[in-house]
Structure 1
């Protein structure tokens, strides 16, 4: 199973034109130590013929162009992109679906709450009904999902395990459901199993708490990619960018007691990689204290174009 990191940025991307944080200023000023990052997304394939995006953000066209394996052809309307797997309904993970309207044979995967949202609060499917016909497949923690070509062998199929992360809906839905109905799963993580090798990758781009189910998924994975959005709890508050801390935004900070870095230290995975990184995060700066701390712990920082084999 081949996995390509198409983008690593959280939120609105990096750099933001109106952002006054040090990292964005450095990029706009041409500092070569800082590189603009595309929106967090993966491309995954079990056979290197059919490819699936994990989340589709506003940079989806740039990401497809950056990776030859996703290029269209040789036939008209022919594409190796077979579907999109959504971990939630946030705009930075779904707005790219509008740019994929030419792909009339795509299968979209997500939880039932995500499906309802894409038919109502953010009506992607009604908007595109005259442009394309997409199939929907439900993600549920109740069963493993085989993804791949019809009639394909185990070696050609992805086996996807869905792990609940949060019942926090996107702000744009104006639905306040936190803690009310645990069956309403808004955000999930994914464990991608390679049936041929017997290995798996755990992907959790957003984490606000590590539940026993999430911890079990991380411990059994050979490679993990997890939420690296913020280094500290009050990162954006101290910048004056918002009054909301990391926790209220649905992200467990990397640093500090009980943070992501401390949690990862107890995980036996061969590779531990941070992804979904906000432009304010000091780990983006080469040589920073925070980055050096992660390197000493054996924790990697994802970059656009990174590839792993599972």
Structure 2
């Protein structure tokens, strides 16, 4: 199973033209110790023919154009993108669906709350009903699901295991009464299993807390790709960029008493990678103290174009 990082950034991508944080200012001034990133998204395949996107953000067209395996053709309106796995309904992970409207044969996967949201609060499916006829498949957290070609002899089957992460709806959906169900799962992480190799990758781009179920997944996975949004709890509040801290935004910081650093370092996975990195995070700077701390612990920072085999 081959996995390609299409984008490793959180938020609206990195750098943001109107952002005054130190990292964005440094990139705009030409500092080559920082590498601009696109919005967080992965592409995965088990047969080099059928590709599945994990989340589709605002940079999706640039990401497709930059990776030849996702380019359209050879037939008219033919695309190697067979479907999209949605980990949540956030705009940064779903707005790219509007740009994929010409892929009429795709299947979209997500929780039932994500589907409800894309029918009403952010009505992607009603908007696109006259452009394409996508199929919907629901993720049931905790239940493994086979995804791939109808005929297994074609290869390409991926086992997807959705794991509950959060009951927090997107900000734009919080005032939508019909979606106001605090007992339903809005966000999931995904464990991708390769039946052939017996290996798996755990992908958790957001972590509100580490539950026993999440910890069990992180302990058993061969490769980890986890929330690296913020280095510190007060990263944005400290620079006056936001009123909410990391935890209230649904992200555990990397450092500090509630951070993921020590726990991540203790897991036996052969590779541990931080993804979904905010433009304010100092780990983006290759010569930073924070980046050196990660490197000493064997923890990697994802980048656009990174490839993995599972």
Q: Which bracket does the TM-score occupy, shorter chain normalised?
A: over 0.9
The answer as to whether partners of 1:169 and 1:175 remain within 8 angstroms in 2 is no
The Cα shift of 1:181 comes to 5.7
The answer as to whether partners of 1:89 and 1:186 remain within 8 angstroms in 2 is yes
Residue 41 (structure 2) aligns with: 41
For residues 159-197 of structure 1, what are the alpha-carbon distances to aligned partners after superposition, in whole Å with 9 as ceiling and x for unaligned?
0001000000000012499xx966411000000000000
TM-score (norm: length of structure 2): 0.97
Matched, 1:20 2:17: no
Residue 69 (structure 1) aligns with: 69
Matched, 1:242 2:242: yes
Trace 1:68-87 onto structure 2 (pairs within 5 A).
Answer: 68-87=68-87
Matched, 1:292 2:263: no
For residues 112-142 of structure 1, what are the alpha-carbon distances to aligned partners after superposition, in whole Å with 9 as ceiling and x for unaligned?
0000000000000000001000000000124
Moved over 3 A (4+): 180-183
The answer as to whether partners of 1:154 and 1:196 remain within 8 angstroms in 2 is no
Q: Where in structure 1 are there 5+ consecutive unaligned residues?
A: none
SS in 2 for 1:118: helix
My pick for the range that moved more, 7-16 or 167-176, is 167-176
The Cα shift of 1:29 comes to 1.0
C-alpha RMSD over aligned residues? 1.4
The Cα shift of 1:36 comes to 1.4
The Cα shift of 1:158 comes to 0.2
Q: Where in structure 2 are there 5+ consecutive unaligned residues?
A: none
The answer as to whether partners of 1:102 and 1:131 remain within 8 angstroms in 2 is yes
Residue 8 (structure 2) aligns with: 8
The answer as to whether partners of 1:98 and 1:128 remain within 8 angstroms in 2 is yes
The Cα shift of 1:257 comes to 2.1
Distance 2:137 2:112 in 1: 9
The answer as to whether partners of 1:169 and 1:176 remain within 8 angstroms in 2 is no
Residue 221 (structure 2) aligns with: 221
SS in 1 for 2:95: helix
Residue 283 (structure 1) aligns with: 283
Residue 164 (structure 1) aligns with: 164
Distance 1:154 1:110 in 2: 24
The answer as to whether partners of 1:46 and 1:157 remain within 8 angstroms in 2 is yes
**Would you say how many aligned residue pairs link Structure 1 and Structure 2?**
308
Matched, 1:184 2:207: no
The answer as to whether partners of 1:72 and 1:79 remain within 8 angstroms in 2 is yes
Residue 124 (structure 2) aligns with: 124
Residue 270 (structure 1) aligns with: 270
Distance 1:92 1:156 in 2: 28
The answer as to whether partners of 2:121 and 2:176 remain within 8 angstroms in 1 is no
Trace 1:200-211 onto structure 2 (pairs within 5 A).
Answer: 200-211=200-211
TM-score (norm: length of structure 1): 0.97
The answer as to whether partners of 1:10 and 1:229 remain within 8 angstroms in 2 is yes
The Cα shift of 1:154 comes to 8.9
